[in-house]
């Protein structure tokens, strides 16, 4: 009986992650497909009687690629500047657009330190340790008030890491981990079930 139970658990451990991965990918492709007007999908353009899984994703990918290529030259940058000037004249739209653009630029910028490093901090009170991710280095009024170097950190919640808390603490109170950001996210999302082989800590400089 014990052997059968082990077989069952082993089977579940194999199939559950595989099934969930397929479902997530399927859901993502369906969402992207819904963003693209049906008349622009390859199956509509080629008059096919069946749908092609992921065709919307390919369409969006090509649009992003072409747009990126256009915006990297001088003419494209000038057109983008004119476009943004026009958008900035729309009341209410300007603030939302500029805020989202700044967030996107920060997150997608490969040279940025945002979400590239994982830390261990005591939060929300002393003696309680949580994993946090650097969201930036704040230089301004708050640092002047605190009177020492500070660091911006995002403390995600479990099991949904897209929500959490933004904290600003002295750099000396943040312990940088040697584990990768991916390993740290797995640790948070799984509520500690999935852990790195070893937890290493970098020496604070």
Are 187 and 131 in contact by the 8 Å Cβ rule? The answer is yes
Higher pLDDT, 157 or 25: 157
Asked if pLDDT for residue 45 goes beyond 80, the answer is no
Model pLDDT, residue 153 = 94
Are 167 and 153 in contact by the 8 Å Cβ rule? The answer is yes
Asked if pLDDT for residue 125 goes beyond 80, the answer is yes
Asked if pLDDT for residue 43 goes beyond 90, the answer is no
Are 30 and 41 in contact by the 8 Å Cβ rule? The answer is no
Tell me how far apart the alpha carbons of residues 47 and 118 are, in angstroms, rounded to a whole number. 50
Residue 77's contacts (CB-CB under 8 Å, 6 or more residues apart) are: 71
Model pLDDT, residue 111 = 54
Question: Taking residues 46-56, what's their average pLDDT?
Answer: 70
* Highest mean pLDDT: which range of 17-21, 49-53, 201-205: 17-21
Question: Taking residues 31-59, what's their average pLDDT?
Answer: 72
Residue 120's contacts (CB-CB under 8 Å, 6 or more residues apart) are: 129, 130, 131, 132, 174, 175, 176, 177, 201
Model pLDDT, residue 192 = 84
Strand partners, 156: 164
Asked if pLDDT for residue 51 goes beyond 50, the answer is yes
Asked if pLDDT for residue 40 goes beyond 60, the answer is yes
Question: Taking residues 109-119, what's their average pLDDT?
Answer: 74
């Amino acid at each position: 009986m014990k052997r059968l139970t082990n077989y069952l658990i082993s089977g579940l451990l194999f199939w559950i992650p595989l099934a969930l991965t397929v479902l997530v990918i399927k859901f993502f492709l369906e969402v992207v497909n819904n963003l693209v007007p049906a008349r622009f999908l390859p199956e509509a353009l080629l008059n096919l009687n069946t749908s092609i899984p992921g065709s919307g994703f390919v369409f969006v990918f090509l649009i992003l690629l072409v747009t990126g290529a256009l915006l990297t030259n001088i003419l494209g940058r000038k057109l983008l500047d004119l476009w943004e000037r026009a958008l900035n004249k729309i009341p209410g739209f300007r603030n939302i657009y500029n805020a989202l653009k700044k967030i996107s630029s920060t997150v997608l910028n490969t040279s940025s330190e945002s979400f590239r490093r994982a830390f261990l901090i005591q939060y929300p009170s002393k003696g309680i340790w949580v994993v946090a991710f650097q969201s930036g280095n704040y230089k301004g009024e708050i640092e002047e008030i605190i009177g020492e170097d500070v660091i911006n950190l995002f403390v995600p919640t479990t099991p949904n890491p897209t929500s959490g808390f933004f904290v600003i603490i002295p750099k000396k109170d943040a312990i940088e981990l040697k584990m990768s950001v991916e390993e740290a996210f797995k640790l948070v999302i799984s509520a500690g079930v999935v852990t790195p082989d070893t937890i290493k800590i970098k020496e604070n400089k």
